[in-house]
C-alpha cells in the first residue's frame, strides 16, 4: 500500500525544506531538494539572456538560481519573497529584464509549484494536501495585514494545485520535532530565529501527548517580531561594507563654516534590502546618483557607489554580508573581500561589531521572548527547556541573550535548518496520514 499523498513545506525567508511520509515506517523524512541537500535557498532566477520579446523567461531555483546570478547571466534574482507577504508589493509587478515583468505573488507561486513538483516526483503521486509553516506574525502589530498575508499565501498554494491547505506556526512545528525525543512532560519555550521573523511559542510536550491531533490546550502562548536574519544582514552590510562606498560619509566643507552635511542615505538602505536592490539600477536612479558627485568630500567613495550600481553588485554585497554573519558563528572575526567593487578592497567584520550592529534587533527579540512567557502566565523558573531552531541561532551571543531570560531552563539546540520542516511533517502525518489518539 502506497504512502498517503501529502507533504509539509517549511517556506522560509532564506531557505526552504520539504517533508514527506517516510517510505517505510511511521515517521516522516526530509526530501533532498538539491543533490544531497535537504534545504534549498528560497530563490528564483528569471533568465532572459537571448530571449525574444514573446518568449517567457526561464526560471531557475535554489542554488542554481544563485549560481546563475553570480555567473553574470542576464536576468533577475528574487530572494526573501516571503517578506513581501502583507506588504503592498504583493500584487505589484516587477521588471525581470529583457522587457519582461512578473507579479511578486507569482514568484512565490512559481517557487511553491517547483517544490510541489519535486515532492510528486519523489512520491510518485499527485499531492493535493499540504501543511505550510507560517510565522507567528507575518506583519507585526497589524492583524488585518497579517490575515491578508496568510490569505495570499493560501491562495497561491491553491493556485499551484494544493486543494487542502493547512498552516501551522513554525515554532510549534519545532516543538513537535523536539517532542519526539523527550521522555517526560516539559514546558518548552521554542525560539525559531529564521531569516524574516523571530518567533516564540510556549508549548507543553511529552510522550503521552505527542499522538494527539488536537493540541490547542498544550499551546500556552505565541508571540513574535519581524526581526531576524535578513535584518541582521542588512545591519551588518550598512555597518561594515557600505561605509566603504559612502554610507555615513560627509560632504565637502561648507562656505558658511557650518558642519558638512552627511550624504543622503536612502540609496544605501535600498542597496542593503534584497527586494529593493533592483530599484537602484534604473536609468533615472543611476543618472541621479551620478549627479551627486559633488556631494561627497571623498570622491573615491562616490566612485565605488557608482561601480556598485552600474555593475549591479548589490545582491553580491548582500550575499557577502550574509556569508560573513554565518561565518561569525564559528570565528571571532571574518574578512570580507570586495574585489568586484575595487581591486584589493576588503574589510574585517568582528563579532562585537556585528553584535553592536544588531543590538536594537537583539533587544526586540529578547523582549519578545519575555513577552511570550508573560502571555503564558509563567515565571522563568517554571520553564523546563529552551529549544532553539532556525538559521540565525548560529549567532551564539544572540542565543545566550535569549537563554538568559530563563537561566535555569535546559538549553536544547535543534537542527537549525530541519527542525521546523520535520515538525511540520509530524503535524501533517497526524492530520492526513494516521488516526489521532483520543
By CB neighbour count within 10 A (0-12 exposed, 13-18 middle, 19+ buried), where does 402 fall? buried
Q: How many CB atoms lie within 10 A of CB 59?
A: 20
pLDDT in tens, 140-177: 888 999 999 999 999 999 999 999 999 999 999 999 99
Is the pLDDT at 435 greater than 50? The verdict is no
The CATH H-level (homologous superfamily) assignment of domain 6-181+416-433 is: ATPase, nucleotide binding domain (3.30.420.40)
Domain boundaries, the chain: 6-181+416-433, 230-357
> Cell for 179?
517532542
Q: Are 162 and 175 in contact (CB under 8 A)?
A: no
**Dist. CA 153–CA 136, nearest whole Å:** 14
Mean model confidence pLDDT for the chain: 91
Helices 314-327, 62-70: axis angle to 10 degrees equals: 120
State the pTM of this model.
0.82
Q: Are 43 and 56 in contact (CB under 8 A)?
A: no
pLDDT for position 27: 84
- Beta pairing partners, 168: 133
| Residue 313 DSSP symbol | -
The pLDDT of 179-191, averaged and rounded, is 95
pLDDT for position 31: 94
pLDDT for position 436: 41
pLDDT in tens, 25-84: 778 999 999 988 999 999 999 999 888 777 889 999 999 998 888 787 888 888 888 888
Is the pLDDT at 1 greater than 60? The verdict is no
Q: What is the DSSP string of 48-98?
A: -TT--TTSPPEEEEHHHHHHHHHTT-SEEEEE-GGGGTTSTTTT-EEEEET
**Dist. CA 300–CA 318, nearest whole Å:** 21
Strands annotated E in 291-384 = 333-337, 346-350
pLDDT for position 252: 94
**Dist. CA 247–CA 239, nearest whole Å:** 9
The pLDDT of 363-367, averaged and rounded, is 97
Residue in this structure with the C-alpha cell 526561464, named with its chain if needed: 58
- Beta pairing partners, 59: 46
Give SS3 for 31: coil
By CB neighbour count within 10 A (0-12 exposed, 13-18 middle, 19+ buried), where does 68 fall? buried
% of residues, the chain, pLDDT over 70:
98
Give the list of residues 6+ apart from residue 149 with CB closer than 8 angstroms, or none. Answer: 85, 86, 90, 138, 139
> Cell for 129?
494536501
Amino acid at each position: 500500500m502506497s504512502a498517503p499523498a501529502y507533504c509539509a513545506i517549511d517556506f522560509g525567508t532564506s531557505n526552504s525544506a520539504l517533508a514527506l511520509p517516510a517510505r517505510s515506517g511511521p515517521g516522516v523524512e526530509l526530501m533532498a531538494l538539491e543533490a544531497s541537500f535537504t534545504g534549498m535557498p528560497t530563490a528564483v532566477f528569471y533568465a532572459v539572456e537571448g530571449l525574444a520579446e514573446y518568449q517567457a523567461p526561464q526560471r531557475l531555483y535554489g542554488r542554481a538560481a544563485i549560481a546563475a546570478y553570480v555567473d553574470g547571466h542576464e536576468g533577475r534574482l528574487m530572494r526573501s519573497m516571503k517578506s513581501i507577504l502583507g506588504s503592498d508589493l504583493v500584487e505589484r509587478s516587477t521588471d525581470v529584464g529583457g522587457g519582461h515583468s512578473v507579479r511578486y505573488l507569482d514568484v512565490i507561486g512559481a517557487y511553491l509549484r517547483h517544490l510541489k513538483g519535486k515532492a510528486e516526483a519523489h512520491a510518485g503521486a499527485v499531492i493535493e494536501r499540504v501543511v505550510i509553516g507560517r510565522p507567528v506574525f507575518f506583519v507585526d502589530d497589524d492583524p488585518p495585514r497579517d490575515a491578508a498575508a496568510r490569505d495570499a499565501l493560501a491562495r497561491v498554494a491553491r493556485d499551484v494545485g494544493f486543494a487542502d491547505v493547512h498552516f501551522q506556526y513554525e515554532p510549534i512545528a519545532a516543538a513537535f520535532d523536539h517532542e519526539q525525543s523527550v521522555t517526560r512532560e516539559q514546558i518548552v519555550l521554542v525560539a525559531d530565529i529564521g531569516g524574516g521573523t523571530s518567533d516564540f511559542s510556549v508549548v507543553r510536550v511529552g510522550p503521552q501527548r505527542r499522538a494527539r491531533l488536537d493540541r490547542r490546550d498544550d499551546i500556552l502562548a505565541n508571540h513574535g517580531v519581524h526581526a531576524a536574519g535578513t535584518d541582521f544582514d542588512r545591519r551588518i552590510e550598512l555597518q561594515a561594507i557600505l561605509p566603504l562606498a559612502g554610507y555615513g560619509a560627509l560632504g565637502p566643507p561648507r562656505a558658511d563654516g557650518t558642519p558638512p552635511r552627511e550624504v543622503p542615505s536612502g540609496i544605501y538602505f535600498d542597496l542593503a534590502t534584497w527586494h529593493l536592490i533592483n530599484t537602484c539600477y534604473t536609468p533615472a536612479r543611476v543618472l541621479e546618483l551620478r549627479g551627486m558627485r559633488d556631494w561627497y568630500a571623498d570622491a573615491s567613495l562616490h566612485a565605488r557607489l557608482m561601480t556598485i550600481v552600474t555593475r549591479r553588485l548589490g545582491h553580491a554585497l548582500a550575499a557577502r554580508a550574509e556569508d560573513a554573519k554565518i561565518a561569525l558563528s564559528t570565528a571571532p572575526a571574518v574578512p570580507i573581500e570586495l574585489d568586484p567593487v575595487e581591486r584589493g578592497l576588503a574589510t574585517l567584520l568582528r563579532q562585537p561589531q556585528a553584535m553592536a550592529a544588531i543590538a536594537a534587533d537583539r533587544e526586540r527579540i529578547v523582549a519578545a521572548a519575555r513577552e511570550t512567557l508573560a502571555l503564558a502566565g509563567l515565571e522563568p523558573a517554571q520553564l523546563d527547556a529552551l529549544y532553539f531552531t532556525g538559521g540565525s541561532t548560529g549567532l551564539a551571543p544572540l542565543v545566550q541573550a535569549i537563554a538568559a531570560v530563563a537561566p535555569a531552563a535546559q538549553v536544547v539546540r535543534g537542527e537549525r535548518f530541519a527542525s521546523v520542516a520535520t515538525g511540520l511533517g509530524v503535524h501533517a502525518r497526524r492530520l492526513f496520514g494516521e488516526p489521532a489518539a483520543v
